[in-house]
Structure 1
Amino acid sequence: MIARLQHTKAPRYTRLTSHPLSRLLLCLCLAFGANTAVHAASFDCAKATSDIEHAICNNPDLSSLDDRLSESYQLAMANLPGDQADALRTEQRSWLKQRDACNGQESCLSDLFSQRAALLQDTAKQAATALDAIIASIPANPATAEQQLQQYRGPLASAWLIYLHQFAPASKVTDAEVEKRHLTVVTAMNDDKFPQSLLRDIENDPKTSHDVAVLTLLRMTIERAGYEDADGRPYVHCFIFKQQGAAAYDAFGALYGSSRDSQAPICPPQGDLFEQPAWQQLTKLIEPMVGKASENSGTIRYASYADWAMFRLRATVSPEDFLKPGQRTPATDDPEQLIRSWSDESVWPKTQREQLLAAIEPARLATMGWLQTEKHFSASDAAKISDAIVKTWLSDRMDFIGEMSGPED
C-alpha cells in the first residue's frame, strides 16, 4: 500500500534540476511483439524483418496508420471494462490474421489498416467517454462509481479507485484492492522510468502527506491517459481541486522541473476573472519581459508556467485561501517597488515600467469586483483577497525575470 507520508516539494521559487522530455510511445505488443519505435509506434523499423514490417516502414502513410492504430488500440484497452477489453483482444487477433494474408502488399495493407484504425479510434473514443462519465459521477455518488470502476482493469480506473479509498471511505475500496491497483498503475509506467522513480521518491518521503502521494499518483496517470490528444477529450477531474484543496493544488502543479510540466493536468480557471480587460492589459504589459526571461531559462520555464496556471485556478476556485495568513508568501514582498527600482534601463525602460505600474490598480479593482459579484465575498474580504492575488501574480513574474537584472541596491 502507498506509505502514509507527509509531502514536500522543492521551494516554490527554487530552480529545479532539468530532465529531458521523452515522448511517451505506446506499443501494440500483440500485433508486432516489440516496443521501441523509429518510424512506427508499434515496432522498431531498424529491426524490421517480415514483408509486412518492411512495407509499413517503407511507406509513410502506412507508418502513420500503424501509429494511429497502435495508439487507439492501447487507449481502448486501457479504458474498456475487463470483459470488453478481452473481446477486443480476441477481435484484434482475428484482424492480425487478415493483415498477414496481405503478404506485405501495400495496397492491401493500406485499405485494411485504414478501416481498422478508424474502427479502433471510434472504439477508443467511446470507451474514454464512458469511463469519464463514471469518473465525473464521483462527487455525487462515490459508492456507485466505485462499483462501476471495479469492472475496469486499466491504470486510470485503478488510480481513481485508490483515490476513492483515500478520500471517500464510504465507497468501501479495500486495502487489498489498493495494493493490487497501485501495482497496475506503477506497472503502466514501465515504458518511462523517470515518473515511476519520482513517484517512488514521493511515496517514500516522510515529509509527504498520504493525500498528496495519492493525488500525485492520480496526476501522473491522468497525464498518460490521452486527455491532451487532438480529439479534445476534456478533463473530468476538476472537482478534486475544490474538494481536496491544498493537497490537490500541490500535487497537480509544477513537479518535474522540465518541459514535462507542460503536460500537467491543470484545469482552466473558473469564471472569467483573468479575461477581464484590466487583467488582459496587465498581462500584455509584463509579457515582453517574461518573454525575454523565457529565452534564457531553458526547460525550467515550464515549471513556472505550470505554477502560474495553477495559481489562476486556485485564485478562482479557492480565493478564500488568500485570506489565510502565510498560505502563499510571495518571494517578493513588494513587487511594485522592484518594478520602480529596476536598474537596467536598456533591458526594461522606465516608460514601460510606468505603464505596467499604472495597470496594477485597475487589475486589483477588477478582481475585487469579481470576487463580490461572482463569489459573494464582503467588500472587506474581497479587498484583502484581491490585494493578495495581484501581489502574488506580480511576485511570481518578478521572480521569474529577476535573474536578467534587478533593482538597484
Structure 2
Amino acid sequence: MPFPSVAQMPAQTPAPVQALDCAKPGSRADRTVCASADLKVAAEDVATLLRGTLGNTPADGRDIIQRAQTAFLTERDGVCTDKSTIPACRSLYEKRAADLAAQNSAAQKKLASVAAGIPKDPKAAAAALQRYNGAAAKAWLVYLFQSGAVTVPDKDAAVRKLVDEILRQDLMKDPYLLEEMTNLGDVASAPLGTVLLFLRHVLSTTEMDAPCFLFTKHGQPAFEAFGAFWGNARDETPGLCSPPSSVFDLPEWKAVSAHMDPAIEPALAERGSIRHGYERQFEVDDLQASLVPSTLLEAPMSAEAKRAAELRGKTVAAFRSWNDFEVWPEKDYRATVSALPAAIAATSKLYREKFKLLPQTADQAAKAAGDRFVAGRLGLIMPDD
C-alpha cells in the first residue's frame, strides 16, 4: 500500500494553545498575571510546554492534556484574582509547568521509540509519525521521505510542506536556530547531509537523542551533521546514542589519557562556552571510532568538515614536534608518545576482530582514531590562529 500523497495526508494543524494577551487582558486573572513580570514569564513557560507536549503526543492522547489545561485555567481564574494572590498564582503556574514537563518528557520517550523503529519498518514508523503534529515527528518524516526510506507521491511537495510547518509554526522562536535552518535552503532538493543537519537542528530543541542507526546507516554524512556545529553551549544537544562499547575505554587509551588530562582539563575549563564545541567533537570522534571505524578513512564532505580535517592535520603535526613544555610538561608529552603505539595496536586488533576489517585497513583506521583522540585534545592547549 503506497504512502498517502500530500493531499491525502492528515492535517498537521497544531492543537490550539491559549495565548496571554497583555495588551488586552480579558479577565481579572489575566490582569494579575500581566501585572507581574515573573508571572508573565511563568505563563509563557506553560504555553511553550503545552505546545510542545501536544506536538509530541499522538492525536488520540491530546484530549486529556487539553482537559487538564482547561481545569488549570479554571483554577487559575479562581486563584489569581489580584496582586495579593501573586505568590499563590506563581505556585499554581509552577505546578502546571512541572506537570507538563513530566508529560512532555514521557511523550518524547514514546516518540523516540517510534523513531527507533525506523530501520525495522520505515513505513510503519511513518504511519505512526503521521499521528503527531510537532516539529520532531515532522522532521523524522522529512528524513524518511527525503532519504527514500519511504516513498510518497509528490515527495518534494510533501517535504516542503513539512519544512514550512516546522519553521513557521512548530519551533520555538529561536532566531539563531531559525536563521541557520533557513540558510539550509530547499531541503527537498538538498543532499542527505543537509537533511540530517535539518533533523539535528530540530532534535536539538527536544530531549531526544540521535539514534545509532543514523550513523551505522549513513556514516560520514551523519557524523558531520551531528558534530560540533555551533562552537558553544548549543552543541550540547541533541544527545548522541551510546555505542555498545567505546574504543577509548580500552586500558591502553586510558594510559594515554592519564598523561594528557592534567594539561587538557584546565584548558577545557578556561575555554568558557567554546568548550562545548570541543566536548561535542570528542563525543562524535568517540562514536565514530567505536561504531563505524571504517568511516574514519573517508574524505570529509562538507566545507566545515574539510576545514576541521585540515586543522586536525596541523595539530597532529604540532604534536609530533611538540616543544611548548610550559603548557604541557615534557615528561607527560614523552609518556604520551610512548603510550600511543600500544593504544593504536590494541585498537587495530579490535577493528580486525570485532569489525572484520582487513589488517591494513584496521591499522589505518586505528591510526586515524589515534589522530582524532590526540588532535581533539591537543587543540585545546594550542594557540588559536
Which 5+ residue runs of structure 2 have no aligned equivalent?
1-15, 23-28
- CA distance in structure 2 between the aligned counterparts of 1:193 and 1:92, rounded to whole angstroms: 28
Identify the residue that residue 32 of structure 1 maps to in structure 2. 20
1:214-269 C-alpha deviation (Å, 9 max, x unpaired): 11111011000133xxxxxxx26321111112211111111123332233533334
CA, structure 1 residues 146+326, in 2 after alignment: closer, same or farther (shift >3 Å)? Answer: closer
- CA distance in structure 2 between the aligned counterparts of 1:367 and 1:201, rounded to whole angstroms: 39
Identify the residue that residue 135 of structure 1 maps to in structure 2. 115
Identify the residue that residue 7 of structure 2 maps to in structure 1. none
The alignment status of 1:347 with 2:335, answered yes or no, reads no
2:174 pairs, out of 192, 211, 219, with 192
Which 5+ residue runs of structure 1 have no aligned equivalent?
1-27, 35-47, 228-234
- CA distance in structure 1 between the aligned counterparts of 2:213 and 2:293, rounded to whole angstroms: 15
Identify the residue that residue 246 of structure 1 maps to in structure 2. 220
Contact 1:80 1:127 in 2 (8 A): yes
Q: How does 1:9-408 map to 2 (within 5 A)?
A: 30=18, 32-33=20-21, 50-52=31-33, 57=38, 69=46, 72-85=49-62, 88-104=65-81, 105=85, 109=89, 113=93, 116-117=96-97, 119-172=99-152, 174-175=154-155, 176-187=157-168, 188-189=170-171, 191-203=173-185, 209-227=190-208, 235=209, 237-294=211-268, 297-324=271-298, 331=311, 333=313, 338-339=318-319, 341-403=321-383
Contact 1:159 1:181 in 2 (8 A): yes
- CA distance in structure 2 between the aligned counterparts of 1:335 and 1:110, rounded to whole angstroms: 53
CA, structure 1 residues 134+333, in 2 after alignment: closer, same or farther (shift >3 Å)? Answer: closer
- CA distance in structure 2 between the aligned counterparts of 1:281 and 1:340, rounded to whole angstroms: 18
CA, structure 1 residues 138+399, in 2 after alignment: closer, same or farther (shift >3 Å)? Answer: same
The structure showing larger relative contact order (alpha-carbon pairs under 8 Å, at least 6 residues apart) is 1
CA, structure 1 residues 298+272, in 2 after alignment: closer, same or farther (shift >3 Å)? Answer: closer
TM-score normalized by structure 1?
0.73
- CA distance in structure 1 between the aligned counterparts of 2:49 and 2:249, rounded to whole angstroms: 36
TM-score normalized by structure 2?
0.77
Contact 2:53 2:100 in 1 (8 A): yes
CA, structure 1 residues 362+127, in 2 after alignment: closer, same or farther (shift >3 Å)? Answer: same
CA, structure 1 residues 257+112, in 2 after alignment: closer, same or farther (shift >3 Å)? Answer: closer
SS at the partner of 2:79? coil
Q: What is the deviation of 1:120?
A: 3.0
Contact 1:261 1:306 in 2 (8 A): yes
Counterpart of 1:128, as a letter, is Q
Counterpart of 2:112, as a letter, is D
Contact 2:146 2:159 in 1 (8 A): no
1:145-194 C-alpha deviation (Å, 9 max, x unpaired): 11111121111111011101012353426433322211121123451111
Q: What is the deviation of 1:345?
A: 2.9
Counterpart of 1:291, as a letter, is E
- CA distance in structure 1 between the aligned counterparts of 2:92 and 2:379, rounded to whole angstroms: 55
CA-based RMSD of the aligned residues comes to 3.6
Q: What is the deviation of 1:103?
A: 3.9
Contact 1:142 1:164 in 2 (8 A): yes
Aligned residues: 354
CA, structure 1 residues 391+315, in 2 after alignment: closer, same or farther (shift >3 Å)? Answer: same
- CA distance in structure 1 between the aligned counterparts of 2:318 and 2:210, rounded to whole angstroms: 40
Q: What is the deviation of 1:50?
A: 2.7
Counterpart of 2:283, as a letter, is A
Q: What is the deviation of 1:200?
A: 2.0
Contact 1:31 1:96 in 2 (8 A): no
- CA distance in structure 2 between the aligned counterparts of 1:117 and 1:148, rounded to whole angstroms: 27
Counterpart of 1:199, as a letter, is M
Counterpart of 1:239, as a letter, is F
- CA distance in structure 2 between the aligned counterparts of 1:183 and 1:325, rounded to whole angstroms: 33
Contact 1:56 1:63 in 2 (8 A): yes
Higher helix share: 2
- CA distance in structure 2 between the aligned counterparts of 1:163 and 1:337, rounded to whole angstroms: 39
Q: What is the deviation of 1:308?
A: 2.2
